[in-house]
A = this chain, B = another copy of it.
Amino acid sequence: MEIKTPTLLIDKEKAISNIQRMLEKANKANASLRPHFKTHFSAEVGSWFKEKGVTQCTVSSVSMAQYFADHDWVDITIAFPYNLLEHEEINQLAKKINLNLLIESTESLDHLKKHVKNAVGYFIKVDVGTHRTGVDPRNEELIGQLVNGSSDGAQFRGFISHAGHTYGCRDLESIKWIFDGSVKVLSELKNKFGGIISYGDTPTSSLVDDLSFCDEMRPGNFVFYDWMQHQIGSCSIDQIAVCMACPVVAIHKERNEVVVYGGAVHLSKDMVYEKDIQGKDRKCFGKMVALAENGWSTEVLGNVERLSQEHGIIKLSDEQIARVKVGDIIGILPVHSCLTADLQGHYLATTGEVIEKMKKK
């Protein structure tokens, strides 16, 4: 494989292992796996799930649902609040596939029932503490209204939650604490109102042992993982299945920095804080590793300290910087693989094949 510009490499073997492991977890919990495809945006990566028997998926937009429906996915949940303005596109989709939407207000449900004529399912989005979207689980009056709004054309399916606040956790105990709260709240709603429970961000799905309270698991990031998930504790470094190959374009030994072609338009500006050797907070926009034949090594060689539009600045030790030359290609483990994947025109498998993905229109 000839790489000349920033290129996101996918280690298919690692990705398939990640899929297999999550599938086993879902099986053990007696839950179905409905993976979130907003991490990879790719029919080909989707096909790796299909080969393992997965037939349902989750997406975060109507356009992503259209893309996967065009690639033979016939059971899709759009895990994003129903966008009234796309009712025509939703109606067209619902004609072709089993489509589930998310609802959190009576206004939205009324609009859906009025404007979408082909049958859809809907989940009530429940806020389990992330405070992004969703109904307060104590608001049983509203929940009752939303459940009772079920009709032939818009059928109540159950309760759906995304515990996105687990991304702020850095130990299992905090994740378990969030999880226990969600189990309590969602189980009570299910007991009272019926329907299924759809749950499962990547940190929880990776770290919590027993997920049998839920009927459906919906993690997405785990197929690739990334440095943030490693920092949370969701994965080991060698489970990270994507790596950005970046050409070295400048070396500044006087400040222990190399400059790579690979910036915010390739990696995204998402970052995590971490402690440096002196215990001070520093920013991390990715971790440098060495590329190897058909992949990359898992030893971290340096920290991506800054990103501008096309430049990445990596801090290296004296020993490491002595080994780097202008024109070398190094690897960067991304901080947030979903946003990095979104920025690519295509991916490259470590075995050399181009992997196509959804294009922005």
A residues near B (Cβ < 8 Å) are: 3-5, 38, 60-63, 80-86, 89, 104-105, 107-108, 111, 131-133, 136, 164, 247, 249-252, 254-255, 257, 259, 261, 264-265, 268-270, 306, 308-311, 313, 325-327, 329, 338-339, 342-346, 359-361
Contact = CB atoms under 8 A, between A and B. Distances in A.
B309 A338 contact: yes
A308 B249 contact: no
Nearest to A131: B255
A3 B85 contact: yes
A341 B306 CA distance: 20
Given A3-B85, A85-B329, A133-B252, 4 more contacts: A131-B252, A132-B311, A133-B259, A133-B311
A136 to B, nearest CB: 7
A306 B133 CA distance: 12
Given A5-B63, A345-B359, A345-B360, A247 B83 contact: yes
Give the secondary structure class of A's interface: mixed
Copies of the protein in its oligomer = 2
A339 B61 contact: no
A264 B84 CA distance: 21
Contacts of A105: 250-251, 326
Given A270-B264, A308-B132, A345 B327 contact: no
Nearest to A329: B85
Contacts of A108: 326
A60 B262 CA distance: 11
Contacts of A308: 132, 164
A209 B41 CA distance: 47
Contacts of A61: 5, 261, 310
Nearest to A89: B4
B250 A309 contact: no
A310 B80 contact: yes
Contacts of A3: 85
A310 B60 contact: yes
Contact of A254 (B136, B325, B342): B136
Contacts of A86: 4-5
